[in-house]
Amino acid sequence: MTWADRLRGGLQKTRAQLNQNAGFLGRDLRSYARNAEVLEDLEMALLAADVGGPATAEILESVQSSRRPDLLAALSDALIEQLQPPGQAEEDDSGLSPWFQPAVTPSPVQPAGHVVMVIGVNGVGKTTTIAKLGQHYMEHGKSVMFAAGDTFRAAAGAQLEVWGDRLGVPVIQGREGGDPAAVAFDAASSRKARGTDLLLVDTAGRLHNQHNLMQELQKVHRVIGKADEGEPAEVWMVLDAVTGQNGLQQAKKFNESVPLSGVVVTKLDGTAKGGILIPIVRELGVPIKFIGVGEQADDLQPFNAAEFVEALLAE
């Protein structure tokens, strides 16, 4: 199965939701005039898909003022525009990190450095996402390491170890209940010494309370910088699409403690509200790096707005 197939399959619930709210996705409606009734249907559909009020209003405006004769094309333009954070669209290659020369197909997701800290609340898919990312970057010819920075939950380290064994990726472990910052420090030092291309740092999703978790994440972030100046170059938050607006509110809190450089949205296959990607980009102001549409390794791929919108509006 190609990624296009997986993506279309994964977005099936959201697409069905759009279709249910409005028949505008049908082929025969392509030449619909932009009359009030159609626009009302479109508005309902976008709101039901969790696109949110402000973005929906902008999309409607954009569709109405579009010079495209075709409603679908106008809608597609408007959605793609909403999915690109300001200043992120069509970046040139000048910021490429020197190690990143894709061996397979060009990847649009080049981390700005060598360490990516992966954060998010428990159960969103952090650990499995790290495994999938590891595989992705290895397929692109990169060397990868993992750090088991979730020392709070019993078995979290073991889960990452299993993935490491399966993929042939070294995993830096700490003691259960030990200091995650110590694990992160060891891992970042070790990555630097070995010259490994990419270190992915797993973190706890839950501690005794939220305040402790934020402090812990800040500490992990700080000590990585002590081990290797300028790192972590990236902090990616994993968001479970099924949690919708709740997940977005959590992300805002995280973003206040540890500024995010990107988001990975998982479990789009489990929700009809895939429109949540739009408020995520809008309200966090960071790009979506990868999206997940299932549990298989190939179900996580770099996010591409045009590809996403095409799959969403496919007939």
Ligand X SMILES: Nc1nc2c(ncn2[C@@H]2O[C@H](COP(=O)(O)OP(=O)(O)OP(=O)(O)O)[C@@H](O)[C@H]2O)c(=O)[nH]1
| Chain positions contacting ligand X, by CB under 6 A | 120, 122-128, 150, 153, 156, 205, 266-267, 269-270, 292-295, 299
Collapsing DSSP to helix, strand or coil, 65 comes out as helix
Site size toward Mg ion, by CB under 5 A? 2
Closest C-alpha to 243, from 112, 62, 50: 50
Q: Which of 17, 82, 127, 203 binds Mg ion (CB under 5 A)?
A: 127
Whether 201 and 156 have beta carbons less than 8 Å apart is answered as no
User: Can you name the residues that pair with 291 across neighbouring β-strands?
Assistant: 265, 301
Task: Retrieve residue 266's tokens.
Answer: 């998982």
> Of these partners, Mg ion, ligand X, none, which one is at the site of residue 295 (CB under 5 to 8 Å by kind)?
ligand X
- Shortest Å distance, C-beta 119 to Mg ion: 11
> Residue 17 is inside which H or E element, if any?
helix 12-21
Q: Which stretch binds Mg ion (CB under 5 A): 54-62, 119-127, 137-145, 242-250?
A: 119-127
> Of these partners, Mg ion, ligand X, none, which one is at the site of residue 270 (CB under 5 to 8 Å by kind)?
ligand X
Q: Which stretch binds Mg ion (CB under 5 A): 37-45, 78-86, 127-135, 269-277?
A: 127-135
- Shortest Å distance, C-beta 72 to ligand X: 27
Task: Measure the CA–CA gap between 70 and 89, rounded to whole angstroms.
Answer: 24
Task: Measure the CA–CA gap between 190 and 199, rounded to whole angstroms.
Answer: 10
Task: Measure the CA–CA gap between 213 and 49, rounded to whole angstroms.
Answer: 31
> Of these partners, Mg ion, ligand X, none, which one is at the site of residue 128 (CB under 5 to 8 Å by kind)?
ligand X
> Of these partners, ligand X, Mg ion, none, which one is at the site of residue 255 (CB under 5 to 8 Å by kind)?
none
305 dihedral zone (left: phi>0; alpha: psi -120 to 50; beta): alpha
Whether 181 and 223 have beta carbons less than 8 Å apart is answered as yes
> Of these partners, ligand X, Mg ion, none, which one is at the site of residue 256 (CB under 5 to 8 Å by kind)?
none
Q: Which stretch binds Mg ion (CB under 5 A): 30-38, 73-81, 122-130, 263-271?
A: 122-130
- Shortest Å distance, C-beta 160 to Mg ion: 7
Q: Kindly report the number of other CB atoms within 10 A of residue 170's CB atom.
A: 17
- Shortest Å distance, C-beta 119 to ligand X: 10
Q: Which stretch binds Mg ion (CB under 5 A): 42-50, 75-83, 108-116, 123-131?
A: 123-131
Taking each helix axis from N to C terminus, what angle separates 244-257 and 277-284, rounded to the nearest 10 degrees? 20
Residues that bind Mg ion in the complex, under the rule CB under 5 A: 126-127
